[in-house]
């Protein structure tokens, strides 16, 4: 007897074979003589099983079972026209009769009961795509000769500004959860060349938005002797490669989620580009106002690009857009100044199309010790926490740069999801650290 999964047995080769499937009862429809069970296996695939009703008396939704039977073809069977004519059931556990997840729930309940809601087929599909994002990220970097590294999560200082730091008690010292591995990757390029990592980053984001998590998965890359153009090309190639390979591998999942992928199929280098300065002009022409000290005014040069600005810049476009050359004063201390343009940083953010907003941020790092020290003073950073980082500029400093990509931000775009919480099994936000 063959023990297999549902997806595998949906094949003419199995017709007439006696097999067993392990899984959970997804749906039950009892008739007088026969009961129709939809069994969901451990990969979320469904197979219809028909069994004599006398054998299903105590079965409930989500009971875990092994079911034995002969594979047969019937065009009426859901999900592919194959079913199991079953004759025996082994029960692992009878589920309590009040399983809280059904067809219609409030979003809050689905988050409160996330440990169960992740069994929904929708979440299974999303998680499979997430697995592919991670798989193909690793494959792209490995195939292109980048070395994978890891950086510590417990750190002494901020990378992306103090306002989003999560303080932790670390014996008698103050420490924080890492906002970005960047500074540590910068240290590693001196002995490993181009490096990359994928680690959780933490941000104490106090606002509730559909694109901010307090813990997100951060793919980061750093390399010596690269220009801003090189970094842009690397990101164009990486993002296009990820999308094209995921679309191929996860066709079934995209179909299930009813994601129209025709625009994603066209994602390929080069992406669109606009300078920060031109982006501001464009937003001013569109009349974008921002609230400033309780009065509103037109957006102007020097303002950060808000969620609304990013949305407007790509709303009617199906290509990702790089915004290049932000003013230094709205970028962190490590961004290098463009030699020919005072006050302008060698930095670029990548915005996803159709208003999805920023998915990567990166640029060239300040490699001059004095300039870096000055910027740290301006940002009010405590130098003693960064002496190790400044050593990188004292001992053989080199021009270098890198970028960070938010895995959930990328997924939110490619899955066309409104809320970033739907891209991962256990989201962490301002109001949610349970389950
Ligand atoms: P930044 O802070 O822009 O830059 O972060 C890089 C990318 O990480 C993602 N991201 C987030 N995703 C979900 N929830 C959040 N709260 C969140 N914050 C950021 C975004 C963003 O583009 N060290 C620099 C990058 C660099 O220059 O290398 C950094 O961390 O996709």
- If pLDDT is split at 50, 70 and 90, which confidence band does 161 have? confident
Q: Is the distance from CB of 274 to CB of 324 less than 8 angstroms?
A: yes
Q: Is the distance from CB of 219 to CB of 180 less than 8 angstroms?
A: no
**pLDDT of 133:** 98
Q: Is the distance from CB of 153 to CB of 200 less than 8 angstroms?
A: yes
Q: Give the sheet arrangement for strand 147-148, strand by strand.
A: 147-148, 195-202, 215-224, 400-406, 357-364, 347-352, 321-324, 272-275
**Cβ of residue 323 lying under 6 Å from some atom of ligand 1:** no
pTM for this prediction:
0.97
**pLDDT of 162:** 87
% of the chain residues with pLDDT over 90? 92
Asked if pLDDT for residue 320 goes beyond 80, the answer is yes
**244-253, long-range: CB < 8 A, 24+ apart:** 244/268, 245/132, 245/136, 245/139, 246/129, 246/132, 246/133, 246/136, 246/414, 249/132, 249/136, 250/125, 250/128, 250/129, 250/132, 253/125, 253/126, 253/128, 253/129
pLDDT digits (tens, 9 = 90+) for 139-158: 999 999 999 999 999 999 88
% of the chain residues with pLDDT over 70? 100
Break the chain into its structural domains and give their ranges: 2-93, 114-423
Q: Is the distance from CB of 39 to CB of 57 less than 8 angstroms?
A: no
**Cβ of residue 221 lying under 6 Å from some atom of ligand 1:** no
pLDDT digits (tens, 9 = 90+) for 367-418: 999 999 999 999 999 999 999 999 999 999 999 999 999 999 999 999 999 9
Helices of type H across 23-120: 107-112, 114-117
Q: Is the distance from CB of 200 to CB of 215 less than 8 angstroms?
A: yes
What does the mean pLDDT of the chain come to?
A: 96
**pLDDT of 381:** 92
How many angstroms separate the alpha carbon of residue 219 from the centre of ligand 1? Answer: 9
**pLDDT of 214:** 97
Nearest ligand 1 atom to the CA of 203 is 16
What is the homologous superfamily of the domain 2-93 according to CATH? Nucleic acid-binding proteins (2.40.50.140)
Domains 2-93 and 114-423 share a fold: no
Asked if pLDDT for residue 1 goes beyond 80, the answer is no
**pLDDT of 207:** 82
pLDDT digits (tens, 9 = 90+) for 290-301: 987 788 999 999
Q: Is the distance from CB of 331 to CB of 345 less than 8 angstroms?
A: yes
**Cβ of residue 203 lying under 6 Å from some atom of ligand 1:** yes
CATH of the structural domain 114-423, one choice from 3.40.50.800, 3.40.50.300, 3.30.930.10, 1.10.3720.10: 3.30.930.10
Phi, psi at 96, each rounded to 5°: -55, 150
Candidate from 130, 201, 228 with most ligand 1 atoms within 8 A of CB, to mutate: 201
**Cβ of residue 406 lying under 6 Å from some atom of ligand 1:** yes
**Whose alpha carbon is nearest atom 17 of ligand 1?**
212
């Amino acid at each position: 007897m063959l023990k297999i999964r549902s997806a595998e047995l949906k094949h003419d080769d199995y017709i007439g074979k006696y097999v067993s499937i392990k899984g959970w009862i997804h749906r039950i429809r009892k008739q007088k003589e026969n009961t129709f069970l939809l069994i969901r296996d451990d990969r979320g695939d469904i197979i219809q099983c028909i069994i004599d009703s006398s054998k299903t008396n105590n079965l409930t939704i989500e009971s875990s079972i092994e079911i034995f039977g002969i594979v047969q073809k019937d065009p009426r069977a859901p999900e592919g026209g194959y079913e199991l004519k079953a004759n025996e059931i082994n029960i692992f556990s009878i589920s309590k009769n009040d399983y809280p997840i059904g067809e219609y729930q409030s979003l809050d309940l689905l988050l409160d009961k996330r440990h169960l809601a992740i069994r929904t087929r929708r979440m299974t599909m999303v998680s499979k795509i997430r697995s592919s994002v991670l798989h193909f990220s690793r494959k792209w970097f490995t195939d292109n000769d980048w070395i994978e590294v890891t950086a510590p999560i417990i750190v002494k200082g901020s990378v992306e500004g103090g306002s989003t730091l999560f303080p932790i008690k670390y014996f008698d010292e103050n420490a924080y959860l890492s906002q970005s591995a960047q500074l540590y990757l910068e240290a590693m390029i001196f002995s490993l060349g181009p490096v990359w990592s994928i680690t959780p980053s933490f941000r104490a984001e106090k606002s509730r938005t559909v694109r901010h998590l307090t813990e997100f998965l951060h793919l980061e890359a750093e390399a010596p002797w690269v220009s801003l153009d090189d970094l842009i090309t690397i990101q164009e190639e990486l993002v296009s490669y990820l999308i094209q390979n995921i679309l191929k591998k996860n066709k079934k999942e995209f179909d299930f989620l009813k994601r129209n992928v025709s625009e994603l199929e066209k994602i390929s280098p080069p992406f669109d580009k606009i300078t920060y300065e031109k982006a501001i002009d464009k937003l001013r022409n569109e009349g974008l106002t921002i609230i400033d000290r309780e009065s509103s005014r037109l957006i102007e040069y020097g303002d950060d690009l808000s969620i609304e600005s990013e949305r407007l810049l790509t709303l009617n476009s199906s290509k990702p857009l790089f915004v290049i050359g932000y003013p230094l004063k709205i970028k962190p201390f490590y961004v290098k100044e463009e030699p020919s343009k005072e006050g302008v940083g060698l930095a670029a953010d990548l915005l996803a199309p159709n208003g999805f907003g920023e998915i990567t941020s990166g640029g060239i790092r300040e490699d001059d010790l004095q300039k870096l020290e000055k910027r740290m003073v301006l940002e009010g950073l405590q130098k003693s926490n960064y002496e190790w980082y400044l050593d990188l500029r004292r001992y053989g400093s080199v021009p270098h740069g890198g970028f960070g990509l938010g895995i959930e931000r990328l997924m939110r775009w490619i899955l066309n999801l409104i809320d970033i919480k739907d891209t991962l099994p256990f989201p962490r936000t301002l109001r949610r650290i349970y389950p």
